[in-house]
Amino acid sequence: MKRMICGLATAALFSLAAPALAQDDKTVTDAEAEAMVDEIDAEAAPASGEASATEEDDGNGPYRQALDKAKKSLTASYDGTPEEIDQIAVYILGNTINTLFHEYGHGLVSELELPIVAKEEDAVDNLANIIMVGKTTDPALDRMLRAVADDYFTNGQFSEDNGDEAAPWDEHSPDKARAYDVICILVGADPEAYKEAADNAGMPPERQDGCAYEYESKLNAWDKLLTPYYLNEGEKNTKKATITYGKATEDTQMVADMLKASGAVEAVTAEITAMVRLPNDITVGVETCGESNAFWSPDDRKLTLCYEIVQSYYDNITQNPPGEAAAKGGDEPVEESEPEETAAPQ
């Protein structure tokens, strides 16, 4: 498996383009979907809510550290129990980290001129999810990946559930397919641990078997794409990734402070820059955009993460019961102060 993400070697990939229930006509209600996510959490995490350490894990990986720092930041500004703060922090960081890996995927496709023969959105979804599930040395990412599925399932983001028809020209696959495929990557990575959860989701045994194949084949595909660009052992990037933090609005200040304190953006950037040889300097801007969004700009070689999308994750977990639309954000742009620059770890 070569050097996929420097420590991701045991991971594998699956295809988000294929709906997870393609061989099953069962209709899953919002309540059933939420119960399924709860089942996943119950199976994969101890009763304390903390991911258990393995022999390969010292319990102190970069994402676990980010989670601890995020909880400390939230504790200072959010009036909630430790359990609530833990849940909120996992949810926000899980979805934000997944978004960052997704956009970095677009960046790699652009900067390395990688050939993608299907939807690019699906391909970089694959990369983001496999990185998160494959980090055996940092089990906090496992909880965070389940939060990604939770965000799709419990917050009414499915167009068909909201009474809207999915646009056939949309570059993204339907939300339900993306959500079930997060479950599929978990099943593909550990069929025994997640079998009951997959059964509860309505996945027939043959579909679960297919997850293992997709998981492995997609990893191999990404591995072949990236092999010419992997850094050799001991080699460091000669190009720089610079992270800038812009000014937040009053409405997004709390999540902005939490995100910066966590160091999650730095951790993801360090992960990417430790994996492949960058041909150019790049920039990561965490800033107010006026919309809930994140995107890669090829011409500027810049990844933009909007405070509004991080705020939307906070809103989803704290305000919206299952089945309600979760899209929030959209603050008016504010005048940006001179951003603070930090050099990403190399």
Query: If you average pLDDT over residues 240-267, what whole number do you get?
Result: 98
The residue extents of the domains of the chain are 30-343
- In angstroms, rounded to a whole number, what is the distance separating the alpha carbons of residues 337 and 250? 14
Task: Name the more confident of 30 and 268.
Answer: 268
- In angstroms, rounded to a whole number, what is the distance separating the alpha carbons of residues 322 and 320? 6
Question: Confidence class of residue 57 from pLDDT cuts 50, 70 and 90?
Answer: very low
Query: If you average pLDDT over residues 305-324, what whole number do you get?
Result: 81
Query: If you average pLDDT over residues 91-112, what whole number do you get?
Result: 96
Range from 66-75, 125-134, 199-208, 259-268 carrying the lowest mean pLDDT: 199-208
Query: If you average pLDDT over residues 103-129, what whole number do you get?
Result: 90
Question: Confidence class of residue 35 from pLDDT cuts 50, 70 and 90?
Answer: low
Query: Phi, psi at residue 267, to the nearest 5°?
Result: -65, -45
- In angstroms, rounded to a whole number, what is the distance separating the alpha carbons of residues 261 and 234? 29
Task: Name the more confident of 237 and 160.
Answer: 237
Instruction: Outline where 274-344 has alpha helix (H).
Output: 307-318
